[in-house]
Structures are given as structure tokens and as C-alpha cells.
């Protein structure tokens, strides 16, 4: 579940009940109330604010269809000619939801740039920090010339600000670690240090997408280094990701594939079978699962081959006797 903005987090926290409701139940109550307000009086002067609140709650809840509905609400806010601060928040909210579409990455980066101009450079502001981090994440994925250098600059501006929101500092450090790993896979010290800082910032949200992504990246780095102790630590982290309560299919599939790589034949085949049954996975995960499956089959074939009998060496004297 994504972190809510301070305003909506305050509203959700006020939802009470007995027994104490879960965060999702409180979000659902708040959503019901705000939707009812919009239905009764859609022409209220504060309707764009209410729309933004609903979109924020939907992204935070992250049930099927929530992101699509939030995206539409961000567009509706723009049509209402909102004040600059609200326009900027809607722009970055929309940009964040576009990260999974490679064709839209350029547009998403442009939305963040517009939002940055409107929000300014005060990193203690929740949305200003969010804008920089989302843009850095988009540039990391896009990988055009100069994107990573710009991403690191944006990240630095969030990380060095003491008053920046801890959640976005954690996300910023996570993207920084990803860039370090891909630039220099052998620089374990820097990558591990950055990942540990990121996970420390995110520790209060064990089921968050980015917390589990951090665990996954650390596990993959441990596997790459590959000492016997590393493999055991990687196994533990990957199982935590696999068992998380939120259904982030991409992360769970990636964890299962990595686990298959370091598991014995039987459990590995079971893990890959589970991945193959998942729907809507990114093509690179499907391809990676196939490669791991082929590797396992090759190992199995090699294990089934009868061992070659050692050829007895015949000494010169014995050879002469035979003659």
C-alpha cells in the first residue's frame, strides 16, 4: 500500500471503529464518504480538492482498477483549472502512474518538470519531494542520454535535506542503489551501503512495494557476489518478499525466479511452475523464468548421464609383456 499524503493520512487516521479497523478498512470508509459528497454536489468550489483526495486514497489502497480511476480523476482536476499547487500535485500523481508504460515515459518526465516549476525547491514539502523522486524513477527507467546523471542530481537534493519526508528519502536511495548496481556491479560496498540506508528509512512499512523492492535488490546483489553466507541471506530476503501480504505480482514473481536459481531441482521446478501460472507479468520476467527453467533441465540432463569409467593407464612394461 503506497504512503498517503499527510492530509489524507490525517483523515484516514481519524476513522474509528471497534475492533480497530485496518488501514484498508479506514481508507474504504473515507472513500465512501468523499464519493458521496461528490455525487450530491459535483459543482462545489472545492470539488478538485475532493477529487484529489479520492485519487490519493485510491493509489494508497491499490486494488484492481484503482490506478485507472485515479488517473481519470487527475485528468478531471486539470479540466477544472485548479490553483497551481493542486495542479502540480495532480501532474506528479499522474506521472507516477505512467511509469509502467514505456511509451509514456517522456510525457511523464515532462509532467514532473512542470510540477517542479510550480512547487519550488522546498524539500520539506511532501509533494515537492515526491515530484523529484518520481522524476528520478522515471529517468532511471527511461535511460536516455543524461537521464541517470539528472536522476542522481534530483535524488541528492532529496537525500541531503533533513526535513524531506522519510518515505521519499527511502525511495530516492533505492533508485540511487539501482543506478550504482547497474553502473558498477562489482562495487558491492557502495551498493549495499545505499540499500541498507534505503531499507532503514522504509522499515516502518514492511508491506510497502518499495520496501520489498529493496529487499529484492539486496538479495540479487548477494546472489551476484555469491559466497555461501550470501546465498543463505539472499534466500531469507527472497522468502520475505515471496510471503508479503500485498499482492505485488511482479516483485513476487521476481523473488520466486531468483529463489529457483538457488534452490534444489524439486523446489525450483515448483517455484517456476507458480510463476508460469501468474498472469500479466512483464515479458522480461517470463523470459528470465524460461532461461532458469532451461538451466535446470540442463543440470538434470547432466546429472542423469552415466559417469565415465576412468581409463586405466597401461605402463610401458605391461604393454611390452602383452606383446
Q: Say if CB 167 and CB 202 are below 8 A apart.
A: yes
Place of cell 515526491: 130
* Amino acid 318: pLDDT: 54
CB-side neighbour CA atoms (13 Å) of 291: 9
Look up residue 140 and give its three cell numbers: 532511471
CB-side neighbour CA atoms (13 Å) of 178: 24
**103/277 Cα distance (integer angstroms):** 27
**9/2 Cα distance (integer angstroms):** 11
* Amino acid 191: pLDDT: 94
Question: 227 — alpha (psi -120 to 50), left (phi > 0) or beta?
Answer: beta
Residue 316 burial (10 A CB sphere; 0-12, 13-18, 19+)? exposed
**193/190 Cα distance (integer angstroms):** 5
- The pTM of the full predicted model, rounded to 2 decimals, is 0.85
DSSP 266-292: HHHHHHHHHHHT-SS--HHHHHHHHHH
Question: 248 — alpha (psi -120 to 50), left (phi > 0) or beta?
Answer: beta
Longest dimension (CA), the chain: 110
**148/145 Cα distance (integer angstroms):** 8
Q: Say if CB 254 and CB 289 are below 8 A apart.
A: no
**137/95 Cα distance (integer angstroms):** 10
**134/152 Cα distance (integer angstroms):** 12
* Amino acid 78: pLDDT: 94
* Amino acid 23: pLDDT: 76
Q: Say if CB 108 and CB 128 are below 8 A apart.
A: no
Place of cell 547432466: 302
Residue 226 in 3-state DSSP?
coil
**81/301 Cα distance (integer angstroms):** 66
Taken as a whole, the chain contains a residue count of 323
Q: Say if CB 74 and CB 48 are below 8 A apart.
A: no
Closest CA to 88 of 157, 134, 44: 134
Q: Say if CB 175 and CB 137 are below 8 A apart.
A: yes
How confident is the prediction along the chain (323 residues), in pLDDT tens digits per residue?
567 776 677 566 655 554 455 778 888 988 998 899 888 888 888 899 999 999 999 998 888 899 999 999 999 999 999 999 999 999 999 999 999 898 999 999 999 999 999 999 899 999 999 999 999 999 999 999 999 999 999 999 999 999 999 999 999 999 999 999 999 988 999 999 999 999 999 999 998 999 999 999 999 999 999 998 999 999 999 999 999 888 789 999 999 999 999 999 899 999 999 999 999 899 999 999 999 999 888 877 776 666 666 666 555 555 555 55
Closest CA to 116 of 79, 51, 125, 178: 125
Amino acid at each position: 500500500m503506497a504512503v498517503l499524503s499527510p492530509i489524507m493520512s490525517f483523515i484516514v487516521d481519524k476513522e474509528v471503529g471497534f475492533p480497530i479497523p485496518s488501514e484498508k478498512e479506514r481508507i474504504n470508509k473515507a472513500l465512501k464518504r468523499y464519493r458521496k459528497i461528490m455525487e450530491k454536489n459535483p459543482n462545489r468550489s472545492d470539488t478538485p480538492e475532493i477529487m484529489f483526495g479520492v485519487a490519493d486514497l485510491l493509489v494508497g489502497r491499490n486494488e484492481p482498477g484503482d490506478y485507472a480511476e485515479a488517473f481519470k480523476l487527475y485528468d478531471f482536476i486539470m479540466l477544472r483549472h485548479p490553483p497551481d499547487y493542486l495542479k502540480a500535485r495532480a501532474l506528479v500523481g499522474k506521472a507516477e502512474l505512467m511509469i509502467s508504460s514505456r511509451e509514456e515515459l517522456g510525457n511523464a518526465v515532462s509532467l514532473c518538470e512542470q510540477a517542479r516549476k510550480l512547487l519550488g525547491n522546498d524539500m520539506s514539502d511532501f509533494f515537492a519531494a515526491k515530484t523529484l523522486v518520481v522524476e528520478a524513477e522515471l529517468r532511471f527507467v527511461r535511460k536516455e542520454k543524461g537521464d541517470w546523471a539528472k536522476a542522481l542530481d534530483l535524488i541528492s537534493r532529496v537525500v541531503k535535506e533533513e526535513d524531506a519526508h522519510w518515505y521519499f528519502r527511502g525511495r530516492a536511495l533505492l533508485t540511487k542503489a539501482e543506478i550504482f548496481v547497474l553502473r558498477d556491479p562489482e562495487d558491492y560496498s557502495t551498493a549495499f551501503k545505499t540499500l541498507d540506508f534505503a531499507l532503514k528509512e522504509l522499515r516502518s512499512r514492511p508491506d510497502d512495494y518499495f520496501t520489498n523492492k529493496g529487499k529484492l535488490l539486496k538479495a540479487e546483489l548477494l546472489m551476484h557476489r555469491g559466497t555461501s553466507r550470501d546465498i543463505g541471506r539472499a534466500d531469507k530476503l527472497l522468502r520475505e518478499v515471496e510471503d508479503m501480504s500485498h499482492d505485488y505480482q511482479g516483485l513476487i514473481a521476481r523473488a520466486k525466479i531468483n529463489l529457483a536459481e538457488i534452490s534444489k531441482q524439486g523446489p525450483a521446478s515448483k517455484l517456476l511452475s507458480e510463476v508460469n501460472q501468474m498472469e500479466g507479468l512483464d515479458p522480461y520476467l517470463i523470459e528470465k523464468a524460461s532461461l532458469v527453467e532451461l538451466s535446470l533441465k540442463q543440470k538434470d540432463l547432466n546429472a542423469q548421464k552415466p559417469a565415465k569409467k576412468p581409463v586405466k593407464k597401461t605402463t610401458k612394461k605391461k604393454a611390452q609383456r602383452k606383446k
